[in-house]
Structure 1
Amino acid sequence: MELFLSPASPGGLKVAAAAEVTGLRPELRPVSGTEQVVPFKSHSNLPALQLPTGDFIFSTNAICQYLFTLSGKEPSDATNQWLEWEATQLQPAMQTALHATLVQGRSSKEAIVAVRKQLSHLDRALTDRATPCVTSDTVTVADVVLWGALYPLLQDASCLPEDFAAVREWFQRMSSTAACLKAVASVLEGKGVQIFKAYLQKQPTPAPLPEKPASNETEEGDVVDRKVTEEELQAAEDAWCLGLAGLPKPRQIHHPILPKKKERNLLITSALPYVNNIPHLGNIIGCVLSADVFAR
């Protein structure tokens, strides 16, 4: 196996740490951030792992998962969920935070606002499990991926608010392991996280930092400052007690179905029914099924 790695890419921290933790150290091929490695991609995707078959893995998390699986550490539902969360929730927020610190020159304490919601989620998970690592007592691919994503921001420990004690303890424990220390040394080359600045400058400008921490939001971002009235509570209790008996009776359907005066009439429609080739199940889904299910 050959690992094509660019020192300027933050994703290299994850892969380098995964290689050290698993003991599987592919042959390193340092390349520039603009060099095209994967032949069928129109732009550079680094890091990239070339397998003995000649195939490429160019998703950072997938490379880490592959190395762990190859070493006999099979993925679990929990690790898969954390990798999905890191890719869809944490990474976009981290892009904003890193752009603010490394490109705009803002302080880490200011940038932490962009990932506060994600750090709260991770802190609650670590507190609830009460284990040294994210999903178990030992380091898994989830720990490596999350640590590698957060390191460029949290390597300055002073920026982490005190209310994230569980994250702080976990992060410091991970950062002190031999695998993570070697990953930092090999990727940063003694230049610190500023080595990622050139890479970030070439990326699309992310969303601006929030003006201030959102203290009235839940994990999903829903505003919770609205109070439920006594009338609403009573209505909910009555509905619960009545059960199915409290539901309106199904309407009798008479064909043809036409609008009725003095009633709220709703028209539910979908794509026009047509085919441009041999009919298949997709035609039913597009023109019939979705509207029918919604109506029911």
Structure 2
Amino acid sequence: MKLYTDAGNFQALKIFISAEIAKEKLEFQEVKHEAWVVPYMSSHKLPVLEVYPEKFIFSSNAAARLILARSVTEENPSAVDQWLDWESACLLPAVFPYLQSVIVQGKMDESLVQGIQKFLAFLDGELKGKEMLTGSQLTVADVAVWSTLFPVFMGKSALPGYQSHFPILLTWFTKLANQGEFDRVSQAMCKGGDTSYLKGSLTIQPAPLRVAETANQKEAVQKQTSKAKEDTTQAAPEKIVASPEEIEAATLAWLKGKKLCPEPLKRVHPVLPEKGRRNILITSALPYVNNVPHLGNIIGCVLSADVFSRFSEGKNWLLDWRMRAGWLAGWLAGWRAGGISFYYYDYYYYYYYYFYDYFDYLTYHYYYYYYYYYY
């Protein structure tokens, strides 16, 4: 696998850290900030992981998860899904403009600070009583969230007062930062924690889409992270005991069920009503527009009736939608040609007949019966 990224792209931290944890040998190529690596994308976007030649993953979370899956088996993948979705849809869109304001423009926007603080408060509450985001296991969710928060907690771009406001979150962040894999990658990208190195990438890379977080999204994350605990506390389902009659009926159906089934009915033409049976005639109109079949009516009326009748063939149900419009068109054509002539009638009759026979809209016997009836 080969990673393409520009210098100072903090989203590449996710992929590099995952490769370090998984001991995965990752080929790396640094490209220009505006490089267009994926030819079929509508805009340039980095980082990009080339899994196979010309096969790319341009989601940093998906790329990190693919690499880390080689060494880490997720105990609660549903919770990991929720956290990755939250990070990409809520946290990252709040962090990115803050970093652009502080690192690129050199000013701190209070509204952007408040936008991040609300997500940090949520994280601080979720980490209470847990070692990692999904429990006790380190997953790609921790890697993704830590990587996005790295420039928020380090260097000149550090959020003011975060140490005192979010102590639980700070403990989790510091614990991961002291691990070798996280420390080596972060030092390689920002030596000494100097986040100004990210300026070039932040200037060029497109900002992630901002998605408004709702209460339902927060509840979904909370439910997923506590799912494992709920499963262990649920009572065992009540044992259902079958009665002797039900057991006997099931045994008989298993041993002799095929013999007891009725034989498939042979469809004999012509299909006529049978005494003592429920005989149903299915009809469907085919209106014309200026003597031309209307496609909407063909699909909506004729074909739907045809499919339903084929499904019901074993019940002696008959589809007969008769070419009234086709007969009328032939009759009028013959009249306009100089009188009601069987020659002209037959000519226009077969014109319609072969048209519908080509599309398999009719069966031969239906059409001939109709022809002789009017003939």
Q: TM-score, normalised by structure 1?
A: 0.64
Residue 181 of structure 1: how far off its partner (Å):
0.8
Structure-2 separation of matches of 1:125 and 1:57: 30
Residue 136 of structure 1: how far off its partner (Å):
2.2
The letter of the residue matching 2:30 is P
In structure 2, relative to structure 1, the CA distance for the partners of 1:202 and 1:45 (3 Å cut) is closer
The answer on whether the counterparts of 1:83 and 1:145 sit within 8 Å (CA) in structure 2 is yes
Structure 1 SS opposite 2:106? coil
Structure-2 separation of matches of 1:186 and 1:278: 63
The answer on whether the counterparts of 1:98 and 1:111 sit within 8 Å (CA) in structure 2 is no
Structure 1 SS opposite 2:49? strand
Q: Which structure is higher in RCO with an 8 Å CA cutoff and minimum separation 6? A: 1
State how 1:1-296 maps to structure 2 within 5 Å: 1-52=1-52, 54-74=54-74, 76-107=77-108, 112-127=113-128, 130-155=129-154, 156=158, 159-188=161-190, 192-202=194-204, 220=215
Structure-2 separation of matches of 1:205 and 1:26: 26
In structure 2, relative to structure 1, the CA distance for the partners of 1:116 and 1:278 (3 Å cut) is farther
In structure 2, relative to structure 1, the CA distance for the partners of 1:204 and 1:140 (3 Å cut) is closer
Structure-1 separation of matches of 2:137 and 2:68: 13
In structure 2, relative to structure 1, the CA distance for the partners of 1:144 and 1:151 (3 Å cut) is same
In structure 2, relative to structure 1, the CA distance for the partners of 1:189 and 1:43 (3 Å cut) is farther
Residue 52 of structure 1: how far off its partner (Å):
3.0
Q: How many residues align?
A: 215
The letter of the residue matching 1:19 is A
Structure-1 separation of matches of 2:97 and 2:49: 27
Structure-2 separation of matches of 1:54 and 1:70: 22
The answer on whether the counterparts of 2:17 and 2:182 sit within 8 Å (CA) in structure 1 is yes
The answer on whether the counterparts of 2:33 and 2:200 sit within 8 Å (CA) in structure 1 is no
Residue 203 of structure 1: how far off its partner (Å):
5.1
Rg larger in 1 or in 2? 2
Residue 99 of structure 1: how far off its partner (Å):
1.8
The letter of the residue matching 2:124 is D
Structure-1 separation of matches of 2:24 and 2:208: 34
Structure-2 separation of matches of 1:277 and 1:60: 49
Q: Deviations 1:26-72 (Å, cap 9, x if unpaired)?
A: 11111111122112123322111111354111101111111122334
Higher fraction of helix: 2
Residue 200 of structure 1: how far off its partner (Å):
2.2
The answer on whether the counterparts of 1:6 and 1:30 sit within 8 Å (CA) in structure 2 is yes
Structure-2 separation of matches of 1:36 and 1:108: 31
Structure-1 separation of matches of 2:103 and 2:298: 53
Q: Gaps (5+ residues) in structure 2?
A: 217-295, 301-375
In structure 2, relative to structure 1, the CA distance for the partners of 1:109 and 1:192 (3 Å cut) is farther
The answer on whether the counterparts of 1:49 and 1:63 sit within 8 Å (CA) in structure 2 is yes
In structure 2, relative to structure 1, the CA distance for the partners of 1:141 and 1:184 (3 Å cut) is same
Structure-1 separation of matches of 2:136 and 2:191: 31
Q: Deviations 1:98-137 (Å, cap 9, x if unpaired)?
A: 122112223598853220111111111001xx12211122
The answer on whether the counterparts of 1:2 and 1:51 sit within 8 Å (CA) in structure 2 is yes
The answer on whether the counterparts of 1:50 and 1:56 sit within 8 Å (CA) in structure 2 is yes
Calculate percent identity across the aligned residue pairs: 29
In structure 2, the partner of 1:293 is: none
The answer on whether the counterparts of 2:113 and 2:159 sit within 8 Å (CA) in structure 1 is no
In structure 2, relative to structure 1, the CA distance for the partners of 1:206 and 1:96 (3 Å cut) is farther
The letter of the residue matching 1:83 is L
